[in-house]
Structure 1
């Protein structure tokens, strides 16, 4: 058994599926501690001797880094990282690692579920059956996906898998992603577009898969939503804040947009007074697109493997967000 200064400690903040714990137990040179209270005083106290930390939704910024003098790697249990202050990590050459493709299929499937559930008016039709309103079923007909056009915003790990599924549903797929060439997008069976405002009036569906960044916050606002067809549907499984909730409410409640599916919101958990809750043409899920039993196990195992790769001096570059620290 490894002892003394060669031992490493992993601080698990919040949840860690059993698969991750099992992975940790395969190493006799690694200790771990689970922290359920992620308030700053509690977190900072536990960071002082941690060589690695796994994070769910907990923020990790300069204050947390200052409390972690021996930190070697920050590992997200997921793929988003808007709650992590990357410039602070860069100063100390600490890699931020995500779980790569571990939940990509799960999120893509969830996006398809939301597209289908929205187009098929599932919320309304469920109510018709439960409330004995069967006779209302022909008053507002649902829509097919086949033969319709969709804009996929962002064709990364998740967006590319969503594109693949939309193509399989015989949809005409357009992709807005400045990081990919026309040839790369064409190879996926889609068409590259460069201007959001030019394509929005032409598509029947929009599925959002881009990161949350200064240039994507409020991407879908009153101006851009007004460009969409009145019978169009919008799905967001990316991050809250990319779609302006007030503008979305106005568009949906005034008949300027037919429906929406939201896995993410500005504030999570949301306030009970969120006006979108009063609309039947919105379906919600509690930021669960990437959280299935299978994805949970994959993310947990990948997060721990990411940490081990740093401990062993061979960081898995494919899962490192701030690759500049690898030197």
Structure 2
């Protein structure tokens, strides 16, 4: 009897799906530590993993594991090299939370452009004189630089175009004919469009070594009054340089769902700025996306047991390919 380990909290419908498969044994660990996960691996055939780190020790102790199913599209908490070396397929959930992240990024864009947080505070403090400051801006007619044209970036670009924005897309892995075919401007290197973008929104993975893509050099090239949105990875930004750009540089505001350290240190200077709109890495966790991610992750396990796991969801498909040789 195959055994699935649910490592974390999941939508109730995931248990409903598993109940339809009485041939599968289910064990749940709520918010396990890394060591608890290592100790639980013997005899487990599939793991549905949320945020607990899964490294070399867990891979080595997984004597029966057929799949690591991430409850999400990111896999920073999984040692992919170790998983691959041990012949363990790593699957993600594809587009299960793409709409959620896109909508969150769009919300952050509108909130920062409309100066939502300061205006909310002013209203609560009966400061209606704030109306005379005229700080809110419209997005119609503005240029937005979409960095990354994957599942989320494509959705963001489409929504921005619907709001009559000029969309510039930077993604060296997507042919320019594809991007131009959608009616967007193409740049191979996002840095080439920084001077022209009113809004920059990040939708690309972090670098493997954790190095930032946006440093003081990039921030200095942004146009005065620009807004930065990041729902991708906190490691993409040099946070000290971002603070300088928001206080003494060209940036008017930033909307951040991610930070380099999560949760961030209480003395992180960015937390003290009223032109920074923050959320706790929750863009992809709506009610709908939470359900979709759970169902997809569990289905990936079930499909792996039956030998029909869709390669579309795999991060290291070479594991299965080598097994076919």
Question: Does TM, scored on the shorter chain, surpass 0.5?
Answer: yes
Structure 1 residues 42-51 or 96-105, which shifts more?
42-51
Structure 2 counterpart of 1:149: 143
Deviation at 1:38, TM superposition (A): 2.1
Give the secondary-structure state (helix, strand or coil) at the position aligned to 1:110.
helix
Deviation of 1:29 after TM superposition, in Å, equals 1.3
Structure 1 ranges of 4+ moved more than 4 A: none
1:194 to 2:188 alignment? yes
- 8 Å Cα contact 1:163/1:188 also seen in 2: no
Pair 1:260–1:10, CA change in 2 (3 A): same
Partner residue in 1 for 2:211: 217
Provide the C-alpha distance between the structure 1 equivalents of 2:170 and 2:191, rounded to a whole number of angstroms. Answer: 11
Shift of 1:87: 1.7
Cα offset, 1:68, TM superposition: 1.0
Shift of 1:73: 0.3
Count of residue pairs brought into register by the alignment: 321
- Indicate yes or no: 2:243 matched with 1:249: yes
Cα distance, 1:54 vs structure 2: 1.3
* Aligned 8 A contact 2:113 2:139 in 1: yes
Name which of 34, 46, 51 aligns with 1:57: 51
Equivalent pair of 2:171/2:189 in contact (CA under 8 Å): no
**What's the counterpart of residue 124 of structure 1?**
118
Give the structure 1 partner of residue 201 of structure 2.
207
Counterpart contact for 1:37–1:43, Cα < 8 Å: no
Name structure 2 gaps, 5 residues minimum. Answer: none
1:240 aligns with 2:238: no
TM, length-normalised to structure 2: 0.96
Q: Residue 275 of structure 2 aligns with which residue?
A: 281
2:33 to 33, 39, 44: 39
1:21 to 11, 15, 33: 15
Question: SS where residue 241 of structure 1 aligns?
Answer: helix
Instruction: Supply the distance in 2 between the matched residues of 1:216 and 1:111 (Cα, whole angstroms).
Output: 22
1:17 positional shift: 1.1
Q: Could you tell me which runs of 5 or more consecutive residues in structure 1 were left unpaired when the two chains were aligned.
A: 1-6
Moved more, 82-91 or 219-228: 82-91
SS at match of 2:132: coil
Partner residue in 2 for 1:106: 100
Secondary structure at the aligned position of 1:138 is classed as: helix
Cα distance in 2 for partners of 1:196, 1:159 equals 13
Is 2:300–2:309's contact at 8 Å kept on the other side of the alignment? yes
Between the aligned partners of 1:36 and 1:57, the Cα distance in structure 2 is 11
Name the CA distance, whole Å, in 2 between partners of 1:185 and 1:58.
37
Per the TM alignment, residue 189 of structure 1 is displaced from its structure 2 partner at its CA by 2.5
Q: Determine the structure 2 residue equivalent to 1:325.
A: 319
Q: Distance between the aligned counterparts of 1:273 and 1:178, measured in 2?
A: 37
Q: 2:76 matched to 1:75?
A: no
Mark the CA change 1:235 to 1:268 in structure 2 (over 3 Å): closer, same or farther. Answer: same
Equivalent residue runs for 1:309-320 within 5 Å? 309-320=303-314
Shift of 1:132: 1.0
Summarize the Cα distance change of 1:66–1:215 in structure 2 as closer, same or farther, 3 Å threshold: closer
**SS in structure 2 opposite 1:137?**
helix
* Cα distance in 2 for residues equivalent to 1:216 and 1:38: 25
Shift in CA distance, 294/37, structure 1 to aligned 2, threshold 3 Å: closer
TM-score (norm 1): 0.95
Structure 2 Cα separation of the partners of residues 188 and 312 of structure 1: 39
Retained in 1: the 8 A contact 2:98–2:151?
yes
